[in-house]
Structure 1
Amino acid sequence: MSRRIWLCADDYGISPGVNRAIRDLIENGRLNATSAMVVGPSIGRDEVNALAAAAKANPRCAIGLHVTLTAPFRPLTMHFRPTEGGLFLPHTKLLRRGLMGRLDSELIHTEVTVQLAAFVDLFGRPPDFVDGHQHVQLFPGVRAAFLAAVKTRAPNAWIRQCGRVRPWAQRLDSPKALVLDALSAQFRRRAARANIPFNPAFAGAYDFSKAAEFGALMRQFLHGMPEAGVVMCHPGFVDEVLISLDPLTVQREREYEFLRSEAFLPLLATNEVTLS
């Protein structure tokens, strides 16, 4: 029997081109989840209404909040710290400060709460799930505040952890995935104590700087993925807004092309997983 998984496109709201690609994939049954950045430059009423219209063709599509706490985006709260030039810190600096115990959990909690409220204002309802841009929800100094905000403001939402299916049995050829495995272990323990549901497994992390063949990567991501597991992806069309904000550009178009291709649905069937 097929297992239903979540194939989630991150970054809705970062640019018109990314939004357009995500909507097309949702409408054609190639995605069943997306997470929206309420601090992004392309998340106004028109883009939200267009996403809602696309999701009508795929009624089991989940829409979540992509909590964003890293540059080059700006906080929604006036007194958020630390910042650089009015922007959030780069993710490496935020992680370093978290590991050193130098983040103010109250300020983090307030920012996440305000982003949750902004989502409700835009979409007219709480998010189905909550995750984090550049996996910030896992960071020390962030995770406790993140979990507390979700527990209060989105009590029916599930959250995304980023541990793999069998991290101890997989090759040590993905440093990024190994870091996510380690950070996710503490995150899962805290979420379980707070009685907040989370996905049982995660895949989708890879080196975006390399011109990887996404079809081959997707075969790896789907292998052994359990019911309700999450596979993260970043499809999109490159436009000037995206280029100004994010180094992940051309690879987004490669992801889109594979997910829209005739090879994708047979790959799901071969791995006995479904999005419906």
Structure 2
Amino acid sequence: MAANVTRIWLCADDYGISPGVNRAIRDLIERGRLNATSAMVVGPAIGRDEVSALKAAAANSPRFAIGLHATLTAPFRPLTMHFRPIDGGMFLPFAKLLRTGLTARLDPELVRTELLVQLASFGDLFGRAPDFVDGHQHAQLFPGVRDAFVAAVKQAAPKAWVRQCGRNQPFLDRLRTPKALFLDLLSTQFRRRAARAELAFNPSFAGAYDFSGAPDFGSLMQRFLQGVSDGGVIMCHPGLVDDVLISLDPLTVQREREYAFLGGEQFASMLAANKVTLG
């Protein structure tokens, strides 16, 4: 491969959240438009048939990675009986989990145990350890979670790489996107812990944006491609909206916009123009 070509991971999050999201992800895999996906073992659409279909879709892709999308936020439920704190039998909502972690009110042992069970469930479904481990709503980066996350991966999947969400951009450029800047800050501590545990992690990250206001995903993807380095991760959320998705997640129509763009010819041309490959 030419030295000036950048090879990246384009990862579709949330496999297992709904049948429509699963179908969209498998379609893009079969068309060579993705080379990674992370699966939610607590999702309602992650039975053995959906896992078999994912494996079949990826069978002809020699460089395809399947990871665990570790989940610790509502509206999903823990796999462990004694996980705390919970809210109505579910994990805490994103903002509440973050606040609880920032105020040192999370029990790291309970978090580690839950993540070990999710890792074991992935192994049972897929017949192997995950290639990588990331986190739904970036919960792996949170104070009170990150140490337990690193410990669980080190114990159960030491050869997996873990997702950090720091960008490879000048500081002034980072200031323009508050959500991504917040992930940059959290990722600094996460990378230190992963390095101490001798876990590999992606060198750069892109894909975070404000889902409100119907942003143009093509323009966003152009920016993402320019900001990710070789071996970096671009996160995406393609999907087809169905009743299951609507009941679980506010990110609906934008998933279909991402799916349409990633499956279109503009995206293929954009990869070539930016000298980026998924191969």
Normalising by the smaller structure, the TM-score range is over 0.9
1:113, distance to aligned residue in structure 2 (A): 0.2
1:238 aligns with 2:249: no
RMSD of aligned alpha carbons: 0.8
**Percent of aligned positions with the same letter in both sequences?**
74
1:65 aligns with 2:68: yes
Q: What is the match of residue 53 of structure 1?
A: 56
Aligned counterparts of 1:17 and 1:83: Cα–Cα separation in 2? 28
1:157 aligns with 2:160: yes
**Secondary structure in 2 matching 1:232:** strand
1:84, distance to aligned residue in structure 2 (A): 0.5
Gaps of 5+ in 2: none
Aligned counterparts of 1:31 and 1:142: Cα–Cα separation in 2? 28
1:182, distance to aligned residue in structure 2 (A): 0.3
The 5 Å alignment of 1:177-256 reads: 177-256=180-259
1:171, distance to aligned residue in structure 2 (A): 4.7
Aligned counterparts of 1:127 and 1:41: Cα–Cα separation in 2? 19
Aligned counterparts of 2:103 and 2:170: Cα–Cα separation in 1? 26
Aligned counterparts of 2:203 and 2:69: Cα–Cα separation in 1? 19
Aligned counterparts of 1:100 and 1:196: Cα–Cα separation in 2? 27
Which residue, out of 24, 29, 37, partners 1:26? 29
Letter in 1 for 2:79: L
Aligned counterparts of 2:261 and 2:136: Cα–Cα separation in 1? 23
Q: Deviations over 1:191-250 (max 9, x none)?
A: 111111000000000011120010000000000421110000000000000000000000
Letter in 1 for 2:148: A
Aligned counterparts of 1:209 and 1:224: Cα–Cα separation in 2? 22
The 5 Å alignment of 1:110-149 reads: 110-149=113-152
Which residue, out of 262, 267, 270, partners 1:267? 270
Q: What is the match of residue 13 of structure 1?
A: 16
1:83 aligns with 2:86: yes
1:59, distance to aligned residue in structure 2 (A): 2.4
**Secondary structure in 2 matching 1:9:** strand
Aligned counterparts of 1:152 and 1:167: Cα–Cα separation in 2? 35
Q: 1:167 to 1:83 in 2, by over 3 A?
A: farther
Asked whether the equivalents of residues 139 and 183 of structure 1 are also in contact (C-alpha less than 8 Å), the reply is yes
Aligned counterparts of 1:107 and 1:25: Cα–Cα separation in 2? 36
Could you tell me the TM-score, scaled by structure 1's length? 0.99
Letter in 1 for 2:218: G
Asked whether the equivalents of residues 36 and 64 of structure 1 are also in contact (C-alpha less than 8 Å), the reply is yes
Asked whether the equivalents of residues 177 and 205 of structure 1 are also in contact (C-alpha less than 8 Å), the reply is yes
Range moving further from structure 2, 263-272 or 150-159: 263-272
Asked whether the equivalents of residues 67 and 132 of structure 2 are also in contact (C-alpha less than 8 Å), the reply is yes
Aligned counterparts of 1:172 and 1:143: Cα–Cα separation in 2? 24
Aligned counterparts of 1:59 and 1:26: Cα–Cα separation in 2? 11
Q: Deviations over 1:136-158 (max 9, x none)?
A: 00000000000000001001100
Letter in 1 for 2:211: F
Aligned counterparts of 1:22 and 1:224: Cα–Cα separation in 2? 24
**Secondary structure in 1 matching 2:265:** coil
Letter in 2 for 1:239: D
Gaps of 5+ in 1: none
Which residue, out of 166, 171, 175, partners 1:172? 175
Could you tell me the TM-score, scaled by structure 2's length? 0.98
Letter in 2 for 1:242: L
- Post-superposition, which runs of at least 4 consecutive aligned residues in structure 1 deviate over 2 A? none
Q: 1:235 to 1:6 in 2, by over 3 A?
A: same
**How many equivalent pairs are there?**
276
Letter in 1 for 2:114: E
1:173, distance to aligned residue in structure 2 (A): 2.5
1:167, distance to aligned residue in structure 2 (A): 4.8
Aligned counterparts of 1:171 and 1:231: Cα–Cα separation in 2? 16
Asked whether the equivalents of residues 167 and 181 of structure 1 are also in contact (C-alpha less than 8 Å), the reply is no
**Secondary structure in 2 matching 1:231:** strand
